[in-house]
Amino acid sequence: MTATHSLLVSSLRLGYGDRTVIESLDLTLPPGKITAIVGANACGKSTLLRSMSRLLAPRAGHVLLDGREVHKMPAKELARTLGLLPQSPVAPEGITVSDLVGRGRNPHQRLLSRWSREDDAAVAAALDATHTADLADRSVDELSGGQRQRVWIAMALAQQTDLLLLDEPTTFLDVSHQVEVLDLLTDLNRNRGTTIVMVLHDLNMAARYADHLIALADGKLHAAGEPSAVLTEDCVRAVFGLDSQVITDPTSGKPLMLPLGRHHVAITRP
């Protein structure tokens, strides 16, 4: 499970209908690391993630996994290497937690194969890791937003991929569950070498947990690199149109962004 894979995007153009959302994007996602993608609403983060997991064909350019074009790989083979948790997935009415998490095993099963020991072990490990084991027999409809989100993450974990793309995995979660999910993803990254790519809206969480930060603005790359190099006051202004103050987090040494609204003007600026 420690195989590292290179995922990169070159001159990628993406769009829907006659609208272009992403224009000529080049990115390299460092293998074995945690990458966070940030950017304003509707700037194309989900679109990019969908294309990297072959859900959306490029208008131009390539998505390359280990040098192979993602959109030409066999579907199941790709699904054993790269998993995607979309933004706000919808569970079928009445499905139980264990059934839902078990469906993450699909890429590992053949048409007629029986449910195997590995399947059982993977589901159990995923439930344990996300602290959802005691919800296993509950219906997903009855869960709170945070519990539901953890169940979806469990499903993605059950897929046991070396690369995991997550679209806003911490939305709906209270702050302690946000930290818990990000810690869990960090464990996964440190212990198994899983490459993690996630879209986050909380810049401070992104800066703290990511090894590599990518800031998108209007479908173009604004900046990419170490969080301390990327998350600057200028960057926040360019990407979000927001004035802010960026200080150094005394605990982690990572940048910490403090937004300034129109009513809160900085008294002292460094």
CB 136, min distance to other proteins, A: 4
Residue pair 123/133 in contact (Cβ under 8 Å)? The answer is no
Out of ligand ATP, Mg ion, other proteins, none, what residue 111 binds, judged by CB under 5 to 8 A for its kind, is other proteins
Of positions 35, 47, 170, 194, contacts ligand ATP by CB under 6 A: 47
- Show the DSSP H helices in the chain as ranges: 45-52, 75-81, 97-102, 117-129, 145-158, 175-192, 203-209, 227-230, 233-240
Q: For 160, left (φ over 0), alpha (ψ -120 to 50), or beta? A: left
Q: Is 6 exposed, middle or buried (0-12, 13-18, 19+ CB in 10 A)?
A: middle
Number of residues near ligand ATP (by CB under 6 A): 11
Of positions 72, 93, 176, 262, contacts other proteins by CB under 8 A: 93
Residue among 65 and 207 whose Cβ is closer to other proteins: 65
Residue pair 181/169 in contact (Cβ under 8 Å)? The answer is yes
Residue among 56 and 122 whose Cβ is closer to Mg ion: 56
- Check residue 109 for interaction with other proteins (CB under 8 A): yes
Using the contact rule CB under 6 A, the part of the chain among 45-53, 122-130, 173-181, 185-193 near ligand ATP is: 45-53
Report the interface residues with ligand ATP, using CB under 6 A.
16, 21, 39, 41-47, 87
